[in-house]
Amino acid sequence: MKCYAVYLGNCSGKLSREHYISKSALELAGKTVSVSGFPWQTPDQSMEIGIESLTSKILCEHHNSELSPLDVVGSDFLRLLKASIEGVASDGEFKNETVHIDGLKLEAWLLKVLCGTIALSGRSKVPEEWVNILFQNRPFPKDSGLYFFGAPGLVKWNFNLMRMSSVQDKSGKIAGAKFGIGGIATLLAFGKPIFEEAGIDYLYRPSSLVFQKESNAKHFEFSWGSHQGYGSMNVRVTTAHEQDDLSARFIVMPLKNK
C-alpha cells in the first residue's frame, strides 16, 4: 500500500502505522465507528469497526506528521462538545461560556477522516484534489466544505463520533460525507449540496453553534479564514418526561440567521 498523499511528490518513503482517526477522539467516541454508504458496501449496509483496529499504513511518516495538528483540533472540539451536552443534561450549574473553533481546521480534520476511510478500504483512490485541499495547497471549491443541517425536533444523545455515511453524485463518485457528531448533523460536501428531505434546513460554515439551558448558553464561535460565517445552529434543553432518557431532553432548534 502506498501513502495516499503520493500525489504531492514528497513522501518520506516509510509508511506510518497510526490511528487514522486520532486515538484521543476515538476514546471520546466509544468502542466502534459506524460507516455506511460507500461504493464498496451494499445498499443500506452499515459496518461497525472496532477502534483498536483503526490503524493502518496509509500515510508516510512525513505526511502523517504534517497532518497531526488536525487531530488536536478534532479532539478538542469533540471534548468541548461532549462536555456541553453533558452539562445541559445534568442538574449542575451551566455557565455562560464562549469557545473559539478554527472552522477550517475542523473541516480539514473531517476531510482527513474521510480520506483515511477511503484509503483503508483499498478499493478506491483518494482524489488528488482532496489531497491538495487537505495539505492546504488549494482551498475548498466554491460552496464546498462544512454544512450543519437538520430539522427542529428531539435528538437522541448518542456520542458515536463517526456515524459517517458517504454522499455520492449521479455518477456514483463520492461527493462528500455526512457525519453524525453527538446528535449534531454535519455534511462535508464537494459542491453545493441539495437537501431533498422535507423540513430540512442548513447552514454553510455557520458563525456559531449554541447550547442553551434556561437563561445560560455556551457558544462555539467558528472562524473560517476569509469566509464570513453566517447564521447559528441552536440546541436547547427541555424538561425530561416520564423516562430518564436524554432523548427527551434535547431539541434542535431551527437554524437561525443572525
Q: What does the pLDDT read at residue 51?
A: 57
Q: Read off the pLDDT of residues 73-122 as tens digits, 9 standing for 90 and up.
A: 888 888 888 888 778 777 778 889 999 999 999 999 999 988 888 887 76
Place 241 in a pLDDT band, splitting at 50, 70 and 90: very low
Q: How far apart are CA 88 and CA 133, in angstroms?
A: 36
Q: What does the pLDDT read at residue 183?
A: 66
Least confident segment among 16-20, 88-92, 163-167, 191-195: 16-20
Q: Read off the pLDDT of residues 7-36 as tens digits, 9 standing for 90 and up.
A: 999 998 788 766 556 666 666 655 666 666
Q: How far apart are CA 223 and CA 221, in angstroms?
A: 7
Q: What does the pLDDT read at residue 249?
A: 37
Least confident segment among 44-53, 132-141, 157-166, 199-208: 157-166
Q: How far apart are CA 211 and CA 252, in angstroms?
A: 9
Mean pLDDT of 55-71: 86
3-state secondary structure 156-189: CCCCCCCEEEEEECCCCCEEEEEEEECCEEEEEE
Q: What does the pLDDT read at residue 257?
A: 42
CA 115 to chain centre: 13
Side chain identity, residue 71: D
Give whichever of 10-19, 103-112, 181-190, 231-240 has the largest mean pLDDT: 103-112
Name the phi and psi angles at 144, rounded to 5: -100, 155
Above 80 in pLDDT, residue 172? no
β-pair partners for 64: none
Mean pLDDT of 130-144: 94
Place 251 in a pLDDT band, splitting at 50, 70 and 90: very low
